[in-house]
Amino acid sequence: MDSDLEILFDDDELTADYQNAVTAVELDNDNGTEITVSEEDYDFNVDSGDTTLTIDEGVVENADEYDLTIVADNYENIEEDDLEVVEGAVNASQTTVESSSLTIDVGDSETFVITAKDKYGNPVDINSGDISLLHETGGAAVDTEYDWIETVSVDEVHGDSNQVEVTIDAHATNTGSANDIVIEVDSVGVKDDFEITVEDSAE
């Protein structure tokens, strides 16, 4: 999804004549998506029996399984079924953080959800180990840097492999605030101005 799609064919019968006869490259899936790839967006190359179809990045935006049809004048169509196009990497502008700030009473906890997507909006699978909350880019984890944050825990959301739930546990007595916390998902900075405040509402 983040690069050109390359499909290899193991067919010794394909020749340069076939390459020159190709008139259409088409993709479709079970969801009703039909893509006719324009001539400038693909390259079909036959080289000593090794055949490669390259489709430019961005032509296919939805991660899914596709059926491929190659049409050539005076030749039978080439058909390949169930070609899998997988999602791309985590994208900062598409990935969402449920909250922009948390205010927590001492000894309590608050939770927010992170939803990861690639640059085309496809869900990206993440797990608890992919999440970091840092006091600055490249800095220490917030529960190490700040004595008013006791722990940060991350749990996967059942049924949504591209979501995690982050829980911040406040220290029992210490208070403090920071408004430039960096949230990283799979080493990609998705937010750099997250704010956490721990206060004592009883004071």
Q: What pTM was computed for the model?
A: 0.88
Phi-psi region at 32: left, alpha or beta (left = phi > 0; alpha = psi -120 to 50): left
> Which residues touch 49 (CB under 8 Å, ≥6 apart)?
11, 12, 14
The pLDDT value recorded for residue 103 is 97
- Please tell me the distance from the alpha carbon of residue 203 to that of residue 187, in angstroms, as a whole number: 39
Tokens representing 192?
Answer: 């750099």
The pLDDT value recorded for residue 87 is 95
The pLDDT value recorded for residue 196 is 97
What is the CB neighbour count within 10 angstroms for residue 80? 14
- Please tell me the distance from the alpha carbon of residue 14 to that of residue 8, in angstroms, as a whole number: 12
Tell me which residue of 27, 77, 18 sits closest to 56, measured CA to CA. 27
The pLDDT value recorded for residue 51 is 86
The pLDDT value recorded for residue 18 is 86
DSSP for residue 116: -
One digit per residue, pLDDT tens: the chain, 203 residues? 789 999 988 766 678 888 889 999 999 999 999 999 999 999 988 876 678 999 999 999 999 999 999 999 999 999 999 999 999 999 999 999 999 999 999 999 999 999 999 999 999 999 999 999 999 888 999 999 999 999 999 999 988 899 999 999 999 999 999 999 999 999 999 999 999 999 998 87
Tokens representing 173?
Answer: 């007595």
